[in-house]
Amino acid sequence: MKTSAAADRLASLLGLFEGADVTRTRRLIEVVRDRNPDDPVVVALVGPSGAGKSYLVNAWAGSNVAPSGALRPTTKEPLVVGTGSGERFRGFATATTETAPPSGVVLIDTPPWEHDHEAVDAVLDASDLAILVVSPSRYADATTAEAAQRITARGVTFVVAVNRLPDGAESIVAAVAKTGWDVPIVVPEERGAGPSIESLSAFLHETESRATEIATRRRAAAAPALVEAVEGLAAGADDRRRAESELLEAARARIATVRIVASRVAAAGDRTWPAAAAQLAASVDAGVGAGIARFKEERREGDFATSRIDAAAAAVRTTDPGAFDTWQLELTVDAVDAIRPRLLRRFRRGPVSEEIWRLALDPDRRPSRRTRRALGARLSFIRELARDGVDDVLGEAVEARAAEFCDALAGHTIETGDRLRDAVAAVAEAAGPGAEEWVVGGPDD
């Protein structure tokens, strides 16, 4: 079970990825992992329109599970016939059968190759073998040749089923064989009795008996495709990481320009201290929010930046008004220490300290007579000290909120490309070399 353990680790890294490439990667992971002895062999029926793929599926299943008819294309989406579930068959419809089809094999009917390449590719990724279904009128055309090339390019072994063969048409089978394709399945159409599918049933019975060998060969063939698929995701992850880092650096540069100074919150000077502290906190929140909004406006080129900025902004806490209490306390101590010793007993510390922070918050405020008498020549010094202090504490509050935003923005939303590469390398190594290519009717049969 070495391959399955490595495959599980790789699958777990895909949790933050999404899209068709991820769906294909998960499908290939299921193909490459170790198989249980009772896992079915998955066989795809591929071919051009009108070749009779659905007709063969229905005859094999013993009921009309796949729509067939004169309209083209009749089959519009992949259809799983047999016991199949999980990531390997995600996105495929499943047939409801009146009678249970033969166990040990799952057939997947596909849309015509020329009508839906992507759907056929998805089925091939999930399959162990493919049957290229042709008819006397379609075996030599370009569409059939393209389908055969695509099956091979997807790393899947295929054989040919010549369907709807009229009486006395052995020459057609011989002509198909001259292409170099293996033709183990010949399905003559008997007048009034429908197709005779003994050779198809025999082929599927043989695939069931050689399931372990087929799975081993398919795992080895699918491993390079899995590596290629993961490399695409890894390259995308590298790009995403670079974009996230660039976004973070740009955010730091933008938020660093946010400044809140006392002159912007002059209204706080006419309020009680709790109300003034709340006003200071609200100003910090508004300033940081405006900086984030400007940054978001600058980064409007994609939903990636917008969604990350919104998520990071939502993680920023509201400024605590109590964060300014230390400044107010220090200001009170400084103000009281500055009162002339001979007047200290005549002035209560509260009114003087309150006047000082009001002067710090409102540069146009005229100090009271009491304050002028208490501080004398030191008034100007204390006033400037207070104003510098409030600017410092506002700056610290802005930096704290900006740091929260940047910390939230710094979280990566995707695994690193190197982790994905290491994981898929372990899967490919565990898959090991494949068995010799399986050929129906080979020397050891």
200 and 319 housed in the same domain: no
246 assigned to some structural domain: no
CB count within 10 Å of CB 325 equals: 14
51 assigned to some structural domain: yes
- In order of 275, 280, 322, 403, 404, the CA distances from 313 in angstroms are 25, 20, 22, 11, 9
291 assigned to some structural domain: yes
Give the integer Cα–Cα distance in Å for 388 and 332: 15
163 and 312 housed in the same domain: no
106 and 176 housed in the same domain: yes
44 and 167 housed in the same domain: yes
236 assigned to some structural domain: no
202 and 88 housed in the same domain: yes
372 assigned to some structural domain: yes
The label of the residue with tokens 């605590």 reads 320
User: In sequence order, what are the beta bridge partners of 108?
Assistant: 44, 80
pLDDT score recorded for residue 98: 61
Q: Which domain holds residue 119?
A: 35-209
427 assigned to some structural domain: no
Rounded (10°) CA dihedral 137, 143, 145, 146: -170
- pTM score: 0.69
43 and 190 housed in the same domain: yes
pLDDT score recorded for residue 192: 54
- Indicate the SS3 state at residue 202: helix
268 assigned to some structural domain: yes
pLDDT score recorded for residue 170: 79
196 assigned to some structural domain: yes
> CA-based diameter of the chain, in Å?
129
264 and 167 housed in the same domain: no
- In order of 49, 53, 78, 118, 287, the CA distances from 111 in angstroms are 8, 9, 6, 10, 58
194 and 290 housed in the same domain: no
60 and 199 housed in the same domain: yes
Which of the residues in the chain have pLDDT under 70?
1, 67-75, 84-85, 96-102, 168, 189-195, 301-303, 338-350, 432-445
Give the integer Cα–Cα distance in Å for 111 and 123: 10
pLDDT score recorded for residue 265: 78
- Give the chain's domain count: 2
* Cis status, amide bond into 188, omega within 30 of 0: no
pLDDT score recorded for residue 267: 78
pLDDT score recorded for residue 97: 67
Strand-pair category, 129-134 with 93-94 = unpaired
User: In sequence order, what are the beta bridge partners of 129?
Assistant: 43, 157
- In order of 26, 92, 275, 308, the CA distances from 109 in angstroms are 21, 10, 73, 42
Give the integer Cα–Cα distance in Å for 64 and 88: 24
pLDDT score recorded for residue 18: 79
322 and 387 housed in the same domain: yes
Which DSSP state fits 318? P
140 and 46 housed in the same domain: yes
- Indicate the SS3 state at residue 311: helix
| Cα 444 versus chain centre, distance | 46
303 and 365 housed in the same domain: yes
The answer to whether 12 and 70 have CB atoms below 8 angstroms apart is no
Q: What is the CATH number of the domain that holds 100?
A: 3.40.50.300
